[in-house]
Amino acid sequence: WDGIRAQMIKRGGEIFIWSRGEDLATEKFPELHPFLQALPDGTVLDGEILSFRDGKPLPFNVLQTRIGRKNLSKKILTDSPVATIVYDCLEYEGEDIRSRTQAERQSLLEGLQSNSAYPEVFRLSTLIDFNSWEELESIREQSRAMIAEGIMLKRKSATYQVGRRRGDWWKWKIAPLSVDAVMIYAQKGHGRRADLYTDYTFAVWDGDKLVPFAKAYSGLTDAEINKVDYFIKRNTLEKFGPVRTVKPELVFEIGFEGINKSTRHKSGIALRFPRILRWRHDKPKEEADTLESLTAFLEE
């Protein structure tokens, strides 16, 4: 699910909501307080916070409208109501149960949820039954319509491990949406790439004009970055502080997970997780996609 990963805690009569970035976000989600207060003391849950309405998740950009707000107005709470889809139980009755199996933790989690008086905000990620990989792949293809990123497979005998361990959990995401776009701006990177132009702005055609719609800085190999950097330094049209306007020649396939309307962007759209999929050496700039191509994704 595409929301905010969170750890939700009830200890010593107090409740806490921590984000994956280790920010205390308890006051950001008042709708979740009653369900957390009602949990048995000594409970820690792992899950995703999403905007939810009528039993269905809403796109991430709806949740995004309230993330940076210091004060949550009545309108914000009405326009972007939240719920949590809980994945796991890490502490139960004050005991750290991460060493127990996934199946045991799932059973305890289901018990907590079934006894909750707040099922509308305390939800579980539905378990998927399937008889073949082909059947599961068919189910996975429905993910985008469900406002999900794909399917998560977990070994039933797995413990809850720390860090990016591989093997017991497998994220099987759906293929990204994509368009072919022209690079029009570039900026130098950071760290070991501080001397190279690695941060790019891309545009699509709107009639005979190129309209910027996304920034991306990942997806190219070091060799490709060096070649793009060489092109940028020899084909700069203008400079605006650290940003260079580049001769619009290079075409790249840009992948993204979601698309939404946006009043803050000149193109009228905003992308979720844009990144470079490949350098389209085979395409001239005239064959890049159009703004109409992007708005068609919105209509879908």
**CATH at 61:** 3.30.470.30
Judgement on whether residues 195 and 81 belong to the same structural domain of the protein:
no
Judge whether 153 lies within some domain.
Answer: no
Judge whether 144 lies within some domain.
Answer: no
Judge whether 10 lies within some domain.
Answer: yes
CA 187 to chain CA centroid, nearest Å = 24
Judgement on whether residues 131 and 199 belong to the same structural domain of the protein:
no
Judgement on whether residues 118 and 193 belong to the same structural domain of the protein:
no
Instruction: Give the span between the Cα atoms of 6 and 26, in whole angstroms.
Output: 10
- In this prediction, the residues of the chain whose per-residue pLDDT falls under 70 are 300
Judge whether 260 lies within some domain.
Answer: yes
Residues 232-249: pLDDT tens digits? 999 999 999 999 999 999
CB within 8 Å of 211: residues ≥ 6 apart: 203, 204, 205, 266, 267, 291
- Cα–Cα distance list, 55 to 52, 82, 122 (Å): 6, 11, 11
**Cβ-based neighbour number of residue 45 at 10 Å:** 25
Judgement on whether residues 77 and 133 belong to the same structural domain of the protein:
yes
* Nearest one of 100, 91, 151, 160 to 126, comparing CA atoms: 151
Domain that holds residue 61: 4-138
Predicted pLDDT at 191: 81
pTM of model > 0.85: no
Judgement on whether residues 26 and 127 belong to the same structural domain of the protein:
yes
Judge whether 187 lies within some domain.
Answer: yes
Predicted pLDDT at 162: 84
Rg of the chain on CA atoms, in Å = 23
For 196, how many CA atoms within 13 A lie in the half-sphere containing its CB?
16
DSSP secondary structure, 199-244, as one string:
EEEEEEEETTEEEEEEEE--S--HHHHHHHHHHHHHSEEEEETTEE
Bridge partner list, 186: 200, 244
**CATH at 253:** 2.40.50.140
Judge whether 42 lies within some domain.
Answer: yes
Structural domains counted in the chain:
2
Query: Which helix H or strand E contains 144, and what residues bound it?
Result: none
Predicted pLDDT at 48: 95
Whether the Cβ atoms of residue 22 and residue 4 lie closer than 8 Å to each other? no
Predicted pLDDT at 268: 86
